Amino acid sequence: MWRRTFALAACSLAGAALVWLLLPGQGLGWLGAVAGAVGWQLWERRHWQAVLEWLREPRSATMPELGGVWGELLARVRRALKVANRKARKAQARLQEFLAAIQASPNGVVLLSKEGTIEWCNLMAGEHLGFDARRDLGQRIRNLVRDPAFIHYLNQRDFSVPVEIDGRHARAGHPQRIAIQVFPYAKGRRLLLTRDVTSIELAEAMRRDFVANVSHEIRSPLTVINGFIETLQTLELDEAQRRHFLDLMAQQARRMQALVDDLLTLSRLEGSPAPDVSHWVEVSGLVDEVAAQARALAGVLHGGRQTITVLEGPPLRVAGAAAELSSALGNLANNAVRYTPAEGHIEIGWRLLPDDGVEFYVHDDGPGIAPEHLPRLTERFYRVDRSRSRETGGTGLGLAIVKHVAQRHGGQLLIDSVLGHGSTFRLRLPPARVSQASPASEPVSFS
């Protein structure tokens, strides 16, 4: 500041001295002083106009080169602008990262104004609620989502619990449920979150159905056993009648035991890691063991009148859990025995596929299965004929076990059937689990 004062004084003195030299004795020195001060002001005006022009659009390339106090001012402003720009770039980068993280979220996020218009939303919110996340900015949310439950939720202003509505992709047979919850913030604004809860609701429905099915399956034999026990306790029976009732009770107890065993098998399959490829199983020994069990069951159920044939394929080994593979093939063979008539024929075998995978198959010439039942055969406790399944000792879990074993080994279960012309169940394993059998391979126990 003192520099500018000194410069003003110097210009005024210089002007007064110049007038005194040019017009001595006229007493006009004061006029020269005023002229010097005005000249200095015009010079200063040129500088601060240059500074103002640069400040309107500050760029390093166009910054004027000024000395003195104006040069120092420009340097300080330039440093401050650099710091502010650096902070602004960092803040913008962090904002973009934050928005990118929200965009990547599986949940929908909508920012609503005080009036209920969409200020910002991610793409998932538009996917859940059925509007365009970019085009519909500024639109009222209640005009875009017209579900009555959602409108009532907004009107009542009680956002302590979420509301559920059908998603944009919901249709008959393919439900989609979206949970929505609103969180007020910042002077009337609201944060709206959406979440796809379809899988949770389906899992809950499956859990309820599973519990109900298990309860029903166990309650039936328990009712029979309790009835026989009451009969034995209250009535005088001869030895033959007592033996008959005890045999029926034992049959129902075996049925419950089979059900519990299958439930434990499913639980073990779902809760354990997938089998690795370090254990190899001889295919021929596996199929022979399954065929022997099927013949034993056929002898009990049909008096040995069924014909069970093993169709051998190439000598192969498969990597996996021997007990699981034996259980899966055993379930397929046992189902064929149970549902094929006494005089029927069953074929059990394997073949090498063109992609070097292996396919186990069980074919029967039984009554076949109607097409509408095929997609649901692997559901737990699903039966085409409930009464016949119980008569033959089925638990309704066999194909569910087979499906889980196939998936754990990276394979799949395929079912082909024509009503009145028999059925074929095929268990495929990928090439990574198949190897040519070695003549020196050690036998594998399937117990």
pLDDT of residue 26: 53
Each of the 447 residues of the chain gets a pLDDT tens digit; together they read: 445 555 555 555 555 555 455 555 555 555 555 555 555 555 566 666 666 666 666 665 556 666 666 666 767 777 787 788 888 888 888 888 888 888 888 899 999 999 999 999 998 998 898 888 888 889 999 999 989 999 999 998 888 899 998 887 777 767 889 999 999 988 889 999 999 988 887 777 777 777 777 777 778 788 888 888 888 888 887 888 888 888 888 888 888 888 888 788 877 777 777 788 788 999 999 999 999 999 998 888 888 888 999 999 999 999 998 989 999 999 999 989 988 988 899 999 999 999 999 999 999 998 888 888 888 888 877 777 655 555 555 677 888 889 989 998 999 999 999 888 899 999 999 999 999 866 544 444 444
Q: What's the token pair of residue 256?
A: 């419950």
pLDDT of residue 66: 64
pLDDT digits (tens, 9 = 90+) for 356-378: 999 999 999 988 888 888 888 88
pLDDT of residue 445: 44
pLDDT digits (tens, 9 = 90+) for 50-99: 666 666 666 655 566 666 666 667 677 777 877 888 888 888 888 888 88
pLDDT of residue 443: 45
pLDDT of residue 394: 64
pLDDT of residue 51: 66
